[in-house]
Amino acid sequence: MATKRASSSEIFQLKVTLLGTKPPVWRRLLVPAEASLAQLHFILQIAMGWSNSHLHEFSAGGLRIGMTEREGGYFDDDPAEDENKVRLSSVLQSTGAKLRYTYDFGDSWEHTIVLEKRLPAEIGSQYPICTAGKLACPPEDCGGVGGYYDLIEALADPDHESHEHLLEWTGGRFDPNAFSITDVNNSLAGISRRARRLARSPF
């Protein structure tokens, strides 16, 4: 498929899916094409429901992109590109193109990011925004996909030997079906306002 250079006002419609989840945990996002992958990281953390408490990395076509040592990453001894210097438009250039996002190298939460559409920015609209999604994000540090489904099974069974412990660990309740697009967009609006004040982003 032919590619075209992204303009500063172009918006990418992205579908983000947490791999290994069945039914899938996913979000659909509208993000400025010229956002950096560092900015995309924060967008994904909010949209998915993570707490930004672990390392992360992007990968596409053999290219690995991540945090610098100064930011708490591993850029000193690992050949990763600086995510602050890589634009979304440079790694996703045609519809159907994919980007991998790994969060927490212990639990290894793998996300696939697919460019579904390239759209013109609408006058008066604020970006980034979430337009759709399904299911709750797994709790942090629950042991990856396998641990997550063990957790759900234990929480659903009052007779499970770990039920009370895990109920307390999750704060007394966890609904795997819960997802609020309003809450996500309220949080995304917050980072958009901060970015405009700092004048460092296309948001």
Q: How far is CA 120 from CA 115, 125, 137, in A?
A: 14, 11, 30
Residue at 194 is within a domain: yes
| Averaged pLDDT, 87-99 | 97
Q: Distance between CA 45 and CA 6 in Å, rounded?
A: 24
- Indicate whether 45 and 125 sit together in one domain: yes
- Indicate whether 87 and 147 sit together in one domain: no
Residue at 189 is within a domain: yes
Q: Closest Cα to residue 107, out of 74, 149, 66, 71?
A: 149
- Indicate whether 115 and 20 sit together in one domain: yes
More confident call, 10 vs 67:
10
- Indicate whether 92 and 168 sit together in one domain: no
- Indicate whether 161 and 192 sit together in one domain: no
Is pTM beyond 0.85 here?
yes
Asked whether residue 199 carries a pLDDT value surpassing 50, the answer given is no
Contact at 8 Å (CB) between 152 and 176?
Answer: yes
- Indicate whether 113 and 26 sit together in one domain: yes
What domain range is 187 assigned to?
10-135+179-198
Residue at 4 is within a domain: no
More confident call, 179 vs 62:
179
pLDDT value of residue 193 = 62
pLDDT digits (tens, 9 = 90+) for 126-168: 999 999 999 999 999 999 999 999 999 999 989 999 999 998 9
- Indicate whether 147 and 121 sit together in one domain: no
Q: Distance between CA 148 and CA 127 in Å, rounded?
A: 31
Q: What proportions of the chain, in percent to the nearest 5, are helix, strand and coil?
A: 30, 25, 45
- Indicate whether 117 and 42 sit together in one domain: yes
The tally of domains found in the chain comes to 2
Phi, psi of 164 (to 5 degrees): -65, -40
- Indicate whether 128 and 152 sit together in one domain: no
- Indicate whether 106 and 81 sit together in one domain: yes
pLDDT value of residue 203 = 57
Cβ neighbours for 200, distance < 8 A, ≥ 6 positions apart: none
pLDDT value of residue 80 = 77
pLDDT value of residue 2 = 41
pLDDT value of residue 197 = 47
